[in-house]
Chains A and B, each alone.
Chain A
Amino acid sequence: MPRRVSIGLATIAVAFVLWFGLTTVFGIIPSGRFPSPAETWSALVHVSGRGYGGGDLTLHVYNSLRLVVMGFLFAIATGGPLGLLMGWSRRAEAVINPIFLIIRPIPPLAWIPLAILWLGLGDAAKIMVIWFSAFVPSVINTFAGVRNIDRPVLEAAYMLGMPKFRFVTEVLVPGASPMIFTGLRLSLQASWTTLVAAELVGAFYGIGRVLNVAQQDLYPGMILVGMIAVAILGWGTTRILGLAEARALRWNTAALAAKG
């Protein structure tokens, strides 16, 4: 096992022992403020078995994950091409950028009331809000990625007489891809943040829904289960993206290693 991993595991173990000690052994933190490991476990068993807040854990996780994936894919499928277009064409940038300058400072969460007003408490409203939050980082990073491609590399492509479509797929996209992936990671994080917030405000299923009901029931164990579930899902999806990135950017890791 690499040293980094073992140190990381040790840190987690110490944190767990500390948690157990403070809540259970010494009782310094009362269980009304923060749940003990045992309470958290029983909450987990509760939501997994009988269910809580309208469904069991699998149903909540499935719904949240589904919405995040849909919103995220929708955002990058629209944001990526728009970023490419803005990076490529100064005219497109001039037309589109003012709209961005107005929209960007609005926190994505501020769109939630409007989304619910338009589309109700169902999936569509949440996908729309996730789209708003994940769209901006994917556009901006794709745009910056295109603008960061070395000028001589672009000139080499012109010199080789690239057809338009091939120029996009074999020069612009791979050239911008390190930044595109940065954008994807930010988009994914934004997707989770926004989803949980949207579910807190109003949802029939989902992890945000679990958190919201648990808060009203004064049920700290269940709140922590919800938080841990989001953490694991966020970590897992980021990890999948990381693997895709490592695969797609093998040339870039070589490049970075060469630069030292």
Chain B
Amino acid sequence: MGVIQFENVGKIFGSRASGFEALKDINLEIRDKEFVAIVGPSGCGKTTCLRMVAGFEDATDGTVSVDGTPIKRPGPDRAVVFQQFALFPWKSVYDNIDLGLRNLNVGSAERSKRIAAILELMNLTHYAKHFPHQLSGGMQQRVAIARAYVLDPDVLLMDEPFGALDAQTRVVMQEELVRLARKNPRTVLFITHAVEEAVYLADRVAIMTRAPGRIKEVLDVASIRNAEDWDSHEKIEDVMDLESFVHLRTHIWRSLREEKAAQHA
């Protein structure tokens, strides 16, 4: 299972009286095996939402829970993929992926089987012995995704994972993530400021307001995706050309622009 629940969640950095109010009254339930993307203007607290699920930050108000258990600390049941990859530069690709499994006390035969499978799936088989810095950004992020997926986590948390990649690599990674997510569905919380990415990847897209961030609107993409059969198109640009896609994208853009305008007013 992997149900993520935000109940009346608020977050204030610093003291209640003079601190910065980042989030207010966040209510969101992410169902098991559902892929939810949060988009919002920069500084709206979307990354803070993810960090609370990961256990890196505490909620000031309300509760964040997974499968009904409030989150206390980070753990391998909630694997994180970071924007800056955050691989261990002193470990080889193989050892980076292996570490989490060793921490879970998985037997060595089982470990090598699972690592071989994920390396294969992420096209990394020939790079097992490389150090992270010998790889391109896209490859490093693939290792980071492999490191998270190999744990077979209930919940996968992705914090602008493709934000540091160039445009072409980004597209390839988005296609690969869709392939991975269809083959091996997980509960995914995906943070991004890229609207098209959110619409392409997610089952639902939550739009946040500027700080203090609240959830303004949640769009159901999956029903449209299924109705219009987006998955029959292999390439991302074909999907992005569809009228239903453009319509959703424009809707989100408008919504975000309102936030931007409010910010400047």
B216 at the interface (CB under 8 A from A): no
Binds B, one of A39-47, A92-100, A112-120, A149-157: A149-157
Binds A, one of B35-43, B62-70, B83-91, B200-208: B83-91
Query: Do A155 and B82 have beta carbons less than 8 Å apart?
Result: yes
Closest to A255 in B: B133
Residues of B with C-beta under 8 A to A157:
88
Contact with B along A228-257 (1 / 0, CB 8 A): 000000000000000000000011101101
Query: Do B134 and A254 have beta carbons less than 8 Å apart?
Result: yes
B56 at the interface (CB under 8 A from A): yes
B interface SS class: loop
Which chain B residues (143-157) contact chain A, with CB distance < 8 Å? 147, 151
A250-B130 Cα distance, complex, nearest whole Å:
12
Residues of A with C-beta under 8 A to B86:
150, 152-153, 155-156
Other-chain residue from A156, A160, A257 in contact with B82 (beta carbon distance below 8 A): A156
Residues of A with C-beta under 8 A to B46:
none
A158 at the interface (CB under 8 A from B): yes
Query: Do A152 and B131 have beta carbons less than 8 Å apart?
Result: no
Contact with B along A42-64 (1 / 0, CB 8 A): 00000000000000000000000
Query: Do A156 and B80 have beta carbons less than 8 Å apart?
Result: yes
Query: Do B80 and A251 have beta carbons less than 8 Å apart?
Result: no
Binds A, one of B96-104, B170-178, B221-229: B96-104
A163 at the interface (CB under 8 A from B): yes
Closest to A257 in B: B133
B79 at the interface (CB under 8 A from A): yes
Residues of A with C-beta under 8 A to B91:
170, 174, 251
Query: Do B80 and A159 have beta carbons less than 8 Å apart?
Result: yes
Interface size for B (C-beta < 8 A) is 29
Smallest distance from the beta carbon of A248 to chain B beta carbons, Å? 9
A115-B102 Cα distance, complex, nearest whole Å:
48
Residues of A with C-beta under 8 A to B76:
159-161
Residues of A with C-beta under 8 A to B85:
152
B54 at the interface (CB under 8 A from A): yes
Query: Do A160 and B100 have beta carbons less than 8 Å apart?
Result: yes
Smallest distance from the beta carbon of B72 to chain A beta carbons, Å? 12
A166 at the interface (CB under 8 A from B): yes
Which chain A residues (187-208) contact chain B, with CB distance < 8 Å? none
Query: Do A155 and B131 have beta carbons less than 8 Å apart?
Result: no
Smallest distance from the beta carbon of A244 to chain B beta carbons, Å? 15
Residues of B with C-beta under 8 A to A73:
none
Given A152-B84, A159-B74, A159-B79, A166 and B90 contact (CB-CB distance below 8 Å): no
A171 at the interface (CB under 8 A from B): yes
Interface size for A (C-beta < 8 A) is 26
Other-chain residue from A161, A171, A252, A258 in contact with B134 (beta carbon distance below 8 A): A258
A36 at the interface (CB under 8 A from B): no
Smallest distance from the beta carbon of A148 to chain B beta carbons, Å? 12
B179 at the interface (CB under 8 A from A): no
Other-chain residue from B75, B82, B90 in contact with A177 (beta carbon distance below 8 A): B90
B257 at the interface (CB under 8 A from A): no
Given A155-B86, A166-B103, A251 and B78 contact (CB-CB distance below 8 Å): no
Smallest distance from the beta carbon of A14 to chain B beta carbons, Å? 41
Other-chain residue from A156, A159, A255 in contact with B131 (beta carbon distance below 8 A): A255
A114-B84 Cα distance, complex, nearest whole Å:
52
Residues of B with C-beta under 8 A to A174:
88, 90-91
Residues of A with C-beta under 8 A to B99:
160, 162, 170
Query: Do B90 and A251 have beta carbons less than 8 Å apart?
Result: yes
Query: Do A252 and B89 have beta carbons less than 8 Å apart?
Result: yes
B73 at the interface (CB under 8 A from A): yes
Smallest distance from the beta carbon of B45 to chain A beta carbons, Å? 18
Residues of A with C-beta under 8 A to B79:
159
A159-B100 Cα distance, complex, nearest whole Å:
9
Query: Do B80 and A153 have beta carbons less than 8 Å apart?
Result: no
Query: Do B90 and A158 have beta carbons less than 8 Å apart?
Result: no
Smallest distance from the beta carbon of B149 to chain A beta carbons, Å? 13
Residues of B with C-beta under 8 A to A161:
74-76, 100, 103-104
A71 at the interface (CB under 8 A from B): no
A175 at the interface (CB under 8 A from B): yes
Query: Do A171 and B82 have beta carbons less than 8 Å apart?
Result: no
Smallest distance from the beta carbon of B246 to chain A beta carbons, Å? 35
Smallest distance from the beta carbon of A156 to chain B beta carbons, Å? 4
Other-chain residue from A155, A170, A177, A259 in contact with B80 (beta carbon distance below 8 A): A155
Q: List 7 A-B contacts (CB under 8 A).
A: A153-B88, A159-B80, A161-B100, A170-B88, A174-B91, A251-B91, A255-B131
Cβ-closest 7 pairs across A and B? A152-B86, A258-B133, A174-B90, A255-B133, A160-B100, A158-B74, A156-B86
Interface contacts beyond A159-B54, A159-B80: sample of 13 additional A-B pairs, CB < 8 Å, sorted by A: A150-B86, A153-B89, A156-B80, A156-B147, A159-B79, A160-B100, A161-B74, A161-B75, A166-B103, A251-B133, A254-B131, A255-B89, A257-B133
